[in-house]
Amino acid sequence: MPRLFSRLLAPAVLALGATLPALAQEVNLYTHREPGLIKPLLDRFTAETGVKVNVVFAANGLAERIQSEGERSAADLLLSVDVATLTHAVSLGITQPVKTPALEKAVPANLRAADGSWWAMSMRARAFYVSKDRVKDAALTYEDLADPRFKGRVCLRDGLHAYNTSMIAAAIANMGDVKAEEWLKGVRANLSKKPSGGDRDVAKDIASGSCDIGPSNTYYMGLMNRDPNQKAWADAVRVVLPTFRNGGGTHVNISGIVFAKHMKNRDQAIRLVEWLVSPAAQKLYAAQNFEYPVVGGVEPDAYTLSLGALKPDSLSLETVGANRKKASELVDKVGFNLGPQS
């Protein structure tokens, strides 16, 4: 699998193949998070603490890289964009659990591993984008994606993409295996075309009239609204925060962090992670990325708030993570990615 690497110039420049320093006032962060989305946060941390953050970015494969580096790895932390990548890193044996009173107080129990092996840093909702003109429902459930009235009207990205397997895993936990399979078959029957593209393409396709409804992460609305080339897509859709019919809430996923097994800068790593869940950092992080804070009492930015009141599903993300393999197998079993006509 190709790896796309870039360099982050604040506060340190690191070539991909370089050996990262392990100095007393530095911390080495490997991340799948786009550098531009975390740069302001890391700049602020360095300004406040004097601790430099050396960053290596790659779209994929950082856990495997840390595994191959073994004891020589300079990674102190791995920051990723989905609970599945965090639990995958744990399964590779490249992490170590860390608990501190500050982290346990700040991060809700359902948004962290019970043993402290991973911690949520921000939260996003798996919402529905719906046509402003053609879908009038004020409230919807995830089960509604399989309702025959939406036949030929549903679009979404690859069913095996982490964002969708996470949603399907949550559906398995909320509905049970049998009903979840029936539901996914129903969603497939309602597809307007084969799953393709990304979350923003759901809004683009709705704007073009090729579909009317599809799941997408909430923060893409803010990103599209900020982009002059994509604002028309955002303007064409309305966000509905769906829930599960069993009384569950809206499925959420996270960006989160793990501590590397062979971290060299333990104190600085803990200091950075605790700082990231401080109220001030949470507010900055949420505003920069149009995400939801994980810390109670910290509000999202005004635009994200305008999308509606979020009631997160209380289901533990550990449970979601445990169902991810089953969810991927279910996507293949029902031929979801083959589209509606095969």
Assess whether pLDDT exceeds 80 at residue 83: yes
Judge residue 229's burial from the number of C-beta atoms within 10 Å of its C-beta, 0-12 exposed, 13-18 middle, 19 or more buried: exposed
Tens of pLDDT, residue by residue over 36-53, are 888 899 999 999 999 999
Q: For residues 117 and 25, state if they share a domain.
A: yes
Q: Is the per-residue pLDDT at 2 higher than 70? A: no
Residue 165 has pLDDT above 70, yes or no: yes
Q: Is 307 inside a domain boundary?
A: no
pLDDT in tens, 268-323: 999 999 999 999 999 998 888 899 999 999 999 999 999 999 999 999 999 998 99
**Same domain as 153, residue 48:** no
CATH of the domain at 178: 3.40.190.10
What was the pLDDT predicted at 6?
Answer: 37
User: Residue 55: pLDDT above 90?
Assistant: yes
Domain identity same for 80 and 204: no
* Of residues 209, 179, 211, the one with CA closest to residue 195: 211
For residue 140, report the phi and psi dihedrals to the nearest 5 degrees.
Answer: -140, 160
Instruction: Please enumerate in sequence order all residues whose Cβ is within 8 A of that of 162, keeping only pairs 6 or more positions apart, or say none.
Output: 82, 84, 85
Rg (CA), the chain: 20
Mean pLDDT of the chain: 91
Give whole-number Cα distances, 42 to 85, 243, 270, 281, in Å: 22, 34, 14, 10
* pLDDT of res. 209: 98
Chain segment 113-161, per-residue pLDDT in tens? 999 999 999 999 999 999 999 999 999 999 999 999 999 999 999 999 9
Over residues 185-194, the pLDDT tens digits come to 999 999 999 9
- Of residues 110 and 16, more confidence is placed in 110
Q: Which helix (H) or strand (E) element contains residue 5?
A: strand 5-7
Q: Are residues 150 and 207 in the same domain?
A: yes
Determine what percent of the chain is predicted with pLDDT higher than 70: 93
- For the chain, how many structural domains are there in total? 2
- 175, 243: one domain: yes
Instruction: Report the predicted TM-score, pTM, of the whole model to 2 decimal places.
Output: 0.86
**What confidence category does residue 244 fall into, taking pLDDT thresholds of 50, 70 and 90?**
very high
Asked if 292 and 124 count as a contact pair (C-beta separation under 8 A), the reply is: yes
Question: Which residue bears the tokens 């939406």?
Answer: 150
**Assigned domain for 183 exists:** yes
Q: Give the structural domain span for 295.
A: 5-123+252-300
The verdict on 172 and 285 lying in the same domain is no
Residue 1, number of CB atoms within 10 A of its CB: 6
**pLDDT value of residue 24:** 54
Q: Which residue has the tokens 């690497």?
A: 5
As a whole number of Å, the end-to-end CA separation of the chain is: 28
Nearest to 94 by CA among 117, 118, 126, 67: 67
Predicted confidence (pLDDT) per residue in 252-272, tens digit: 999 999 999 999 999 999 999
pLDDT range class, residue 342, cuts 50, 70, 90: low
Confidence of residue 4 (pLDDT cuts 50, 70, 90): very low
